[in-house]
Structure 1
Amino acid sequence: MNIENAQVQMRKGILEFCIMHIISRGEVYASDMLDELTSAKIMVVEGTLYPLLTRLKNSGLLDYKWVESSSGPPRKYYILTDMGKQFLEEMQKTWIELSDSVHTIVLKTQDLGAKNEQQPTN
């Protein structure tokens, strides 16, 4: 199995959650989302982001508004709808449960590894 592919799949799994968190802070422009995701090392490209934003919009979780720009064409700023806010709250609960569960499993594995290292070999 290719580790890079596994890493990409893990990131894709949390991308929607991260995007909705970014938007939950207030109106946000897509390129600002890309910058934040890249800074957080959740690599994403426009070809991934825009279809996801469209899907979230079509699901009623996001909306957008056009804002005139003094330096070019109008910009589309995304916001969460009330339904999107509720959806994000549920996703947050799931994330906490999942994160705690994974952490528990990883700790047990690390503890077992530490015990095995301490045992003398014959």
Structure 2
Amino acid sequence: MSVRSQLLKGILEGCILAVISKETIYGYELTMKLHALRIEVSEGSIYPILLRLQKEKLIVGEMKKSPSGPNRKYYTLTEKGEEALQDFKRHWGQLKGPVDKLLGKGDEE
């Protein structure tokens, strides 16, 4: 597993919660949104995380009719999910600054 994929695995849950907090979304659409942000992740990686987030009651999935094709499961954030997202944002902020500083981001070399 590459360094990039290991780093991504650690933050992907928070990224997924952030996307779902902005809109009700289904799995494939979520994957496409992440790709548009240049977060390369496969659908095969997304669905197990969505299942786990549902079990943890951070999101809720609801089957809805699709304008084209089969029904889709749309995900929304729960109150507990919103709290988890806020925790992620706080922890990310606490980690990002020191790592950027350590890596010399913004320093002129």
Output the TM-score relative to the length of structure 2: 0.90
2:52 aligned residue: 55
Q: What SS does structure 1 have at the residue aligned with 2:38? A: coil
Task: Provide the aligned C-alpha RMSD in A.
Answer: 1.9
1:75 aligned residue: 72
Q: Distance in 1 between matches of 2:69 and 2:82?
A: 31
Instruction: Give the residue type in structure 2 aligned to 1:69.
Output: S
Q: Identify which of 93, 98, 120 aligns with 2:95.
A: 98
Output the TM-score relative to the length of structure 1: 0.81
Gaps of 5+ in 1: 115-122
- When Rg is computed on C-alpha atoms for both structures, the one with the higher figure is 1
Q: Which structure features the higher share of helix residues?
A: 1
Instruction: Give the residue type in structure 2 aligned to 1:101.
Output: P
2:27 aligned residue: 30
Cα deviation for residue 76 of structure 1 reads 0.7
Gaps of 5+ in 2: none
Bigger RCO (CA 8 Å, 6+ sep): 2
Change (3 A) 1:26 1:70: closer
Instruction: Give the residue type in structure 1 aligned to 2:86.
Output: E
* Count of residues paired in the alignment: 109
Q: Distance in 2 between matches of 1:64 and 1:94?
A: 26
Tell me whether 1:20 sits opposite 2:17 in the alignment: yes
Q: Aligned ranges for residues 32-47 of structure 1 at < 5 Å?
A: 32-47=29-44
* Moved segments of 4+, more than 4 Å: none
